[in-house]
Amino acid sequence: MGSGRAAWPPGLSAARAEVYAALSALVGDLREEPDRDVSWVVESLGRSMGALESMGYRTGPLRELVTRLVVDQPSVSRLTEERERASERCRPRESAYVESGEYSQLALSELARSAGVESLDLDSLPGQLGLMYVLAYQQEMADASADRERVESMIRSQLSLLERHLLRWVPKLAECVIAEVGEGMYSLALAALLQFIEDDRQALINSPRP
């Protein structure tokens, strides 16, 4: 993703929030429910692509993931099986990859409380992605109401979660999954996630400050 402060278009944070929610379900807990099943994931990701690409996000891995989910129905069950094996062998939790001296559950909890969130498992990958969803959505609401101080606060919170947590341990999880489970649907989902959060960090850094 290129550098430089591009305009932050209306709806971008809502699109980002949708991607975080969809990926949280995909790597965490797909269910046969209207807002957690694979059809909802595909629709959510599909709706978001245009806004992301307009800001220079590299969506190749996300598009490949969506295509596989649509055209290869067994891919969903393979993803579930691979995710279960990965949970046993790789433990998709931050505390499994970051030394205790570097890892602060308290800081995460305070970040969640400031966003009005209390029920997420913040050590887990779905929990941290769920928090990113909330923060991105709150940024969209702040942008819409021209609340400049709130927008800046949401940008800082998202960068903190990305730089101090997700981008420090998810690459290690992805390496473990490839080594222990092999390349497949779950590793593809993690690759798409990593590309997205790397580009999202850069977009937040480059976003015009109110």
Tens-binned pLDDT, residue by residue, of the chain (210 aa): 544 444 577 889 999 999 999 999 999 876 666 566 888 999 999 999 999 999 999 999 999 999 999 998 778 888 889 999 998 999 999 999 988 656 677 788 888 998 999 888 999 999 999 999 999 999 999 988 888 899 999 999 999 999 999 999 999 999 999 999 999 999 999 999 999 999 999 999 998 755
Q: Phi, psi at residue 58, to the nearest 5°?
A: -90, 105
Q: How far apart are the C-alpha atoms of 19 and 45, rounded to whole Å?
A: 6
Residue 29 contacts residue 40 (beta carbons within 8 Å): no
Residue 69 contacts residue 38 (beta carbons within 8 Å): yes
Would you call 145 exposed, middle or buried from its count of C-beta atoms within 10 A (0-12, 13-18, 19+)?
exposed
Domains and CATH numbers, the chain: 12-206 (1.10.3480.10)
Q: How far apart are the C-alpha atoms of 132 and 90, rounded to whole Å?
A: 22
